[in-house]
Chains A and B, each alone.
Chain A
């Protein structure tokens, strides 16, 4: 039975109506962590540095039980930052991401924002340095990976402050990101992948070559999977303003086949280059999307 308080398993659009990105992300993460009972993400290694007094909200797994037994006081252990995971999340903020096939659903961008916020919160809670880079035809926001207090708020502010762009130039952002990551880390690309696949894969391959773990989250609206609409319609690309007149009913089959072929193509190419690929629909509960990353 699904717990009705588990926001991570509810419809994303309904969850989004509960409040801002912070509230939604926190709710989703709480539900998600309660569901799996342990953190899905772990750093490469941890090294103890000092103790500090326990504060409400600290994870109990970092509680020093020996001090508690000897002095009956609550202290948590702190670890050396260098030993934590460094994660950078790349968010596609292009014009095509600001689209939804049904007003009752979130746009791809809206879904991605909340998913990125939740993912960042999970990483930060386990003391992994997390940063954010947003891009469209150029890099718009860069928030370096940190683990200090207030980092998550900065990340969320960065998401909110990034407007919907125009075109998509992922390879530029990926190459710039490679320069920012001095040590090996985790790179998560969140995009609808309506971009030049060859160039993007070259950049991703480069990141892998640098030793980074790369995850691609391919976000799609359900309406992009199946073609529907009036008997005849002029479809216009929001990024290029190019248009084409089609009869959705007679092209639906061929379109669906093309989309399946495209997804399969991305999946195969990513696997070939050691990149993890996940296809995420915007009607998928956030918890399920996060589970894909576990």
Chain B
């Protein structure tokens, strides 16, 4: 037993007051004449035993009353296993505790279940955990951004109240691990981490957390979650607009629509460019109509469901003007033919923007290896003089092409090639053979490891040759404007250089948030081996349970009241 106000125990000396008063009171009673003293003595003799008992009882009652009141003033604290915030007549308190509340306010928490956002329920639980914190506790709040916020109870309660669903994914295992290590470092009698999450299976990831000395209370995953679909990705490329749909595995297909907004126009002028059905896990490609040059902003919309935050995803399309190309005579017949086709299709025009040949041009250049090996040195010196960090090396063994960006060249055989050697690693590699660079770009110069001739590679005879040349001229040589994707609230961010827009970042929710499938209890136990998986009632009962103690001052005051009533009754007894 401990006391919140131990100094008040000094008041126990006051328990001697009734005995002292009893003695002092007997010393100087007033005197009075009373003739029938013999009757009085008779009455006293007959009542002596009863009176002695009564005096003793009163003395004990009064001493106990003072002692109990002093004890109540000292606020005694007793260990208790009672659940809930407070017992009847006593107030529950606990030993100083280091507490971290992990509140998963990731996008999936905004799903509406049983007519109420999951996040509201999680916030209520977080508030309950923090509200029970005592002044001696150390508190942290971890939200979906993974940042552990230390603060007072009131400050963190305000943070909980202000928390809204974010597009970010909370990687639960590292977040809980960080929180557990944080509280474990605190020199306090108790350490707890309350994990309040919808426990998506995708939130757990790999790894596990088990920090000794830290009680991890994990809210059990919901028994029922709605089927959900979300737009995982929307990317415009040469083949059109590729849309990936994520969500609950096995969920039925849902209609989606793509719309684009002309450059510089208002969103109201957006027009639909395609409509299709897609189920979670599927990827569909919608052909884009011819678009005028410029940056086109588009969006893909899914029909509304219980999780609205992933039903819309933005994308951006950059449409450039046809590249103006000059091909030297030594490029060979295949490349010349492909350029002719592209000129007819208005994909390229004749001009000096890009030079294709065995030598380095004055501007942007696509350099093929010279047919005469003796000229390699001259070409390499020119490249070095231009500051290009790549040069032709010795011949390399045959192999097949691989490229992350150029799908049309994948798997095409290369029979003859020069190794392309760089001075700063593999930066700028667009395609490779046997893992060695075959097509590289550095600044305005593109180097090919093989001549575009059937004796060097099968590419000229492949169906993707003309698209390859198109991409080579319009995107690779010109320097494709980068379009990056990032997790964040749906929006676009453009990068400009002077008056030109040179790139963009598309923000959208983490696609893993769309799969609301909860983790199984086994999966949760694997991720948190030492944790207790609790429902809401269990969580309420187990908060601070390890060191929960009851302030029994209320009970003592009630007992004091009872003693006072008994004392009054005994003192009022006349017979």
Which chain A residues (213-260) contact chain B, with CB distance < 8 Å? 224, 227, 229-240, 242-246, 249-255, 257-259
- Chain A, residues 90-116, CB within 8 Å of chain B (1/0): the string is 000001100100000000000000000
* Contacting pair B29 A251 (CB below 8 A): no
* Contacting pair B31 A236 (CB below 8 A): yes
* Bound-complex Cα distance A194 to B47 (A): 22
Closest chain A residue to B47, Cβ basis: A254
* Contacting pair B51 A236 (CB below 8 A): no
* Contacting pair B40 A255 (CB below 8 A): yes
* Bound-complex Cα distance A284 to B25 (A): 37
Q: Which of B32, B33, B35, B42 contacts A258 (CB 8 A)?
A: B42
Given contacts A194-B36, A236-B31, A243-B31, contact A258 B46 (CB under 8 A): yes
* Contacting pair A254 B44 (CB below 8 A): yes
Q: Which of B37, B47, B54, B573 contacts A235 (CB 8 A)?
A: B37
Which chain A residues (69-99) contact chain B, with CB distance < 8 Å? 95-96, 99
* Contacting pair A233 B33 (CB below 8 A): no
Q: Does B38 contact A (CB under 8 A)?
A: yes
Q: Does A58 contact B (CB under 8 A)?
A: no
Residues of A within 8 A of B31 (CB): 233-236, 243
Q: Smallest CB–CB gap between A93 and chain B, Å?
A: 13
Q: Which of A234, A240, A258 contacts B39 (CB 8 A)?
A: A258
* Contacting pair B44 A246 (CB below 8 A): yes
* Bound-complex Cα distance A259 to B44 (A): 12
* Bound-complex Cα distance A74 to B426 (A): 170
* Contacting pair A235 B44 (CB below 8 A): no
Residues of A within 8 A of B47 (CB): 250-251, 254
Q: Which of A230, A237, A250 contacts B29 (CB 8 A)?
A: A230
* Bound-complex Cα distance A258 to B575 (A): 13
Residues of A within 8 A of B51 (CB): 250-251
Given contacts A254-B43, A258-B39, contact A236 B29 (CB under 8 A): no
Q: Smallest CB–CB gap between B51 and chain A, Å?
A: 6
Which chain B residues (22-69) contact chain A, with CB distance < 8 Å? 25-26, 29-44, 46-47, 51, 54
Closest chain B residue to A94, Cβ basis: B35
Q: Does A14 contact B (CB under 8 A)?
A: no
* Contacting pair A251 B44 (CB below 8 A): yes
A interface residues, how many (CB within 8 angstroms): 35
Residues of A within 8 A of B573 (CB): 250
Closest chain B residue to A235, Cβ basis: B34
Q: Smallest CB–CB gap between A140 and chain B, Å?
A: 19
Closest chain A residue to B38, Cβ basis: A194
* Bound-complex Cα distance A237 to B31 (A): 11
Q: Does B574 contact A (CB under 8 A)?
A: yes
Residues of A within 8 A of B40 (CB): 227, 235, 244, 246, 251, 255, 258
Given contacts A245-B29, A250-B51, contact A257 B43 (CB under 8 A): yes
Residues of A within 8 A of B46 (CB): 254, 258
Residues of B within 8 A of A229 (CB): 32
Given contacts A253-B575, A255-B43, contact A194 B35 (CB under 8 A): yes
Given contacts A194-B35, A252-B574, contact A230 B30 (CB under 8 A): yes
* Bound-complex Cα distance A230 to B43 (A): 18
* Contacting pair A242 B43 (CB below 8 A): no
Closest chain B residue to A223, Cβ basis: B34
Given contacts A254-B47, A255-B43, contact A244 B32 (CB under 8 A): no
Q: Does A8 contact B (CB under 8 A)?
A: no
Chain B, interface SS category: helix
Q: Smallest CB–CB gap between B331 and chain A, Å?
A: 127
* Bound-complex Cα distance A196 to B25 (A): 35
Q: Which of B35, B39, B574 contacts A249 (CB 8 A)?
A: B574
* Bound-complex Cα distance A242 to B35 (A): 10
Residues of B within 8 A of A253 (CB): 574-575
* Contacting pair A235 B33 (CB below 8 A): yes
* Bound-complex Cα distance A178 to B391 (A): 164
Q: Smallest CB–CB gap between A184 and chain B, Å?
A: 34
* Bound-complex Cα distance A234 to B36 (A): 13
Q: Does A47 contact B (CB under 8 A)?
A: no
* Bound-complex Cα distance A230 to B25 (A): 12
Q: Smallest CB–CB gap between A223 and chain B, Å?
A: 8
* Contacting pair A233 B35 (CB below 8 A): no
Closest chain B residue to A225, Cβ basis: B36
* Contacting pair B29 A224 (CB below 8 A): no
Q: Does A192 contact B (CB under 8 A)?
A: yes
Q: Smallest CB–CB gap between B22 and chain A, Å?
A: 10
* Bound-complex Cα distance A235 to B42 (A): 14
Q: Smallest CB–CB gap between B339 and chain A, Å?
A: 125
* Bound-complex Cα distance A40 to B43 (A): 40
* Contacting pair B574 A224 (CB below 8 A): no
Q: Does A59 contact B (CB under 8 A)?
A: no
Closest chain A residue to B33, Cβ basis: A238
Residues of B within 8 A of A254 (CB): 43-44, 46-47, 575
Given contacts A99-B35, A249-B574, A251-B51, contact A232 B43 (CB under 8 A): no
Q: Which of A246, A252, A259 contacts B36 (CB 8 A)?
A: A259
* Contacting pair A236 B34 (CB below 8 A): yes
- Chain B, residues 1-40, CB within 8 Å of chain A (1/0): the string is 0000000000000000000000001100111111111111
Residues of B within 8 A of A231 (CB): 25
* Contacting pair A234 B35 (CB below 8 A): no
Q: Smallest CB–CB gap between A229 and chain B, Å?
A: 7
Given contacts A251-B44, A254-B575, A258-B46, contact A236 B37 (CB under 8 A): yes
Residues of B within 8 A of A245 (CB): 26, 29
* Bound-complex Cα distance A242 to B41 (A): 11
Residues of B within 8 A of A236 (CB): 31-34, 37
* Bound-complex Cα distance A195 to B332 (A): 158
Closest chain B residue to A230, Cβ basis: B30
* Bound-complex Cα distance A255 to B29 (A): 19
Residues of B within 8 A of A234 (CB): 29-32
Q: Smallest CB–CB gap between B425 and chain A, Å?
A: 104
* Bound-complex Cα distance A96 to B25 (A): 29
Q: Smallest CB–CB gap between B212 and chain A, Å?
A: 66
* Bound-complex Cα distance A246 to B87 (A): 47
* Bound-complex Cα distance A236 to B30 (A): 11
* Bound-complex Cα distance A254 to B46 (A): 8
* Contacting pair A235 B32 (CB below 8 A): yes
Q: Smallest CB–CB gap between B550 and chain A, Å?
A: 40
* Bound-complex Cα distance A265 to B282 (A): 116
* Bound-complex Cα distance A224 to B34 (A): 8
- Chain B, residues 322-334, CB within 8 Å of chain A (1/0): the string is 0000000000000
Which chain A residues (253-285) contact chain B, with CB distance < 8 Å? 253-255, 257-259, 262
Q: Smallest CB–CB gap between B45 and chain A, Å?
A: 9
* Bound-complex Cα distance A245 to B40 (A): 10
Q: Smallest CB–CB gap between A219 and chain B, Å?
A: 11
- Chain B, residues 537-575, CB within 8 Å of chain A (1/0): the string is 000000000000000000000000000000000000111
Closest chain A residue to B37, Cβ basis: A237
* Contacting pair B43 A192 (CB below 8 A): no
Closest chain B residue to A95, Cβ basis: B35
* Contacting pair A238 B44 (CB below 8 A): no
Residues of A within 8 A of B32 (CB): 229, 233-236
Interchain Cβ contacts under 8 Å between A and B, 14 examples:
A224-B35, A232-B25, A233-B29, A233-B30, A236-B32, A236-B34, A237-B35, A238-B35, A245-B29, A251-B51, A253-B575, A254-B575, A258-B42, A259-B39
**What would 6 more interface pairs be, CB under 8 Å, given A194-B35, A258-B46?**
A224-B36, A227-B43, A232-B25, A236-B34, A238-B35, A250-B47
What 4 A-B pairs have minimum CB-CB distances, sorted nearest first?
Answer: A253-B575, A96-B35, A235-B34, A254-B43
Residues of B near any A CB (own CB < 8 A)? 25-26, 29-44, 46-47, 51, 54, 573-575
